[in-house]
Chain A
């Protein structure tokens, strides 16, 4: 009846909806984890440059995204 049990029922039959939903959820989880880790690194005195290097993105990108933290 709920969306969750509905999805569980479909999980077996290769419904693209399940796979797509998983990707979307994973992306959101990734964003949350990134925010936690960046905040933690900043609190420990890491520079934006150092954080960017670990994340494999440009310093500008990471600052633009998390600069407000």
Chain B
């Protein structure tokens, strides 16, 4: 699959690993893929993210992602579902942090030095890369570009797609911003 990636897409994958390294995270997540994607200059993705106002609101987007991480990676939809069972995620996070320190539920701090050489992609991040392939195939595009990874990030359920949607970047708005009128070729709906 990797051989079908464009240079931009490769830069995203490699950049995501570097991002995880900088954050001292033990795994490469969708969040790292998104941050790396936002670093790719001159691509269609950069224009679309700017057009949708995401570039200007990067700080707010990153804050939303950090907050979700602190809450154990729960999406608002997850929290709503748990609230339906009478489980208050906010209260649990507060209790855990009281005992184990701020950010305890975020977990992913790497106190595993000996493991440092290798960072694997999380299940969700792998899902995103697979989805980018399927999106490219659905659009009959010959290669997988950063734009397909970006669309995939909005289609894989989780904190990244939720934070993007909260900032106005959904599968539909991004598809329109990146492919405009020719969007009828691959109107595969986001899952």
B-binding residues in A (CB < 8 A): 2-4, 6-8, 11, 18, 21-22, 24-26, 28-29, 32-33, 35-36, 40, 68-69
- Residue from B76, B79, B115 within 8 A of A68 (CB atoms): B115
Q: Contact between A22 and B72 (Cβ–Cβ < 8 Å)? A: no
Query: Cβ of A28: which chain B residues have Cβ within 8 Å of it?
Result: 72-74, 78
Binding site for A on B (CB under 8 A): 26, 72-82, 84-85, 87, 89, 92, 96, 99-100, 104-105, 107, 111-112, 115, 157, 162, 165-166
Known A-B contacts: A22-B82, A25-B74. Give 17 more (CB < 8 A): A2-B77, A3-B76, A4-B162, A8-B80, A18-B81, A21-B77, A22-B84, A25-B78, A29-B82, A29-B89, A29-B92, A33-B92, A33-B96, A36-B100, A36-B105, A68-B112, A69-B111
Residues of the A chain whose Cβ atoms lie less than 8 Å from the Cβ of B89: 29
Out of B75, B76, B107, B157, name the residue touching A35 (CB < 8 Å). Answer: B107
B111 touches A26 (CB 8 A): no
Chain B residues lying within 8 Å of A35, measured Cβ to Cβ, are: 107
